[in-house]
């Protein structure tokens, strides 16, 4: 400890003196940015949902993974843009690592390609959880700046690290509740 204090004092003196004839320089501690919030976080889950269920609160732009007893892990998501949002109940029908993307006919008519292979240009990101019989998914993204917005065509986008975490937790057949 005495060595560490002595070394610090020596370094501080060297910085201040700067050597013979040099201008004085003073090291000023820079304020630390607060640590960024990490996800998922544990939170209270309002409502009676079974353990392992997914609850997406569209107005909050949050996805909850139920731990049971009113507790959940919460993640940030992007939701459907105006005219594409929805509420209701579904289930996880399939889980895919590094999914390929086959845009719908509507999306293709709007200029999307007919197929995007897995990789950095794929808008589904690194994982996809398919919902019921629909074209909707909970998936990663290649556009992380959209998380927290209403910008999708009805799917729920997550950061790739978050969807990977959720993917490893959720079971096929898990109920999915999309609420306002």
Residues designated as active site? 139, 155
- Could you tell me which of 173, 167, 172 has the C-alpha nearest to residue 63? 167
Any idea which residue has 């579904």 for tokens? Answer: 90
Residue 40, preceding peptide bond in cis (omega within 30° of 0): yes
CB 159 within 8 A of CB 76: yes
CB atoms within 10 A of CB 127: 23
Ranges of beta strands (E only) in 34-134 are: 41-44, 54-57, 62-68, 71-76, 79-80, 88-97, 127-131
Strands of 175-179's sheet, edge to edge?
41-44, 71-76, 62-68, 54-57, 175-179, 88-97, 127-131, 137-139, 156-157
């Amino acid at each position: 400890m005495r060595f560490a204090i002595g070394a610090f004092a020596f370094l501080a003196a060297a910085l201040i003196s700067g050597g013979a004839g040099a201008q004085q320089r003073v090291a000023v501690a820079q304020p630390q940015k607060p640590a960024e919030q990490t996800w998922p976080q544990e939170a209270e889950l309002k409502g009676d949902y079974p353990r392992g269920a997914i609850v997406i609160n569209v107005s909050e732009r949050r996805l909850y993974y139920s731990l049971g007893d009113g507790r959940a892990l919460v993640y940030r998501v992007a939701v459907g843009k105006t005219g594409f949002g929805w509420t209701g109940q579904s289930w996880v029908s399939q889980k895919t690592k590094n999914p390929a993307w086959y845009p719908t006919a509507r999306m293709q008519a709007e200029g999307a390609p007919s197929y995007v292979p897995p990789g950095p240009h794929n808008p589904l990101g690194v994982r996809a959880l398919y919902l019921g019989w629909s074209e909707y998914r909970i998936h990663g993204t290649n556009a992380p700046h959209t998380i927290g917005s209403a910008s999708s065509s009805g799917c729920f986008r997550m950061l790739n690290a978050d969807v990977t975490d959720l993917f490893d937790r959720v079971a096929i057949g898990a109920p999915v509740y999309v609420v306002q």
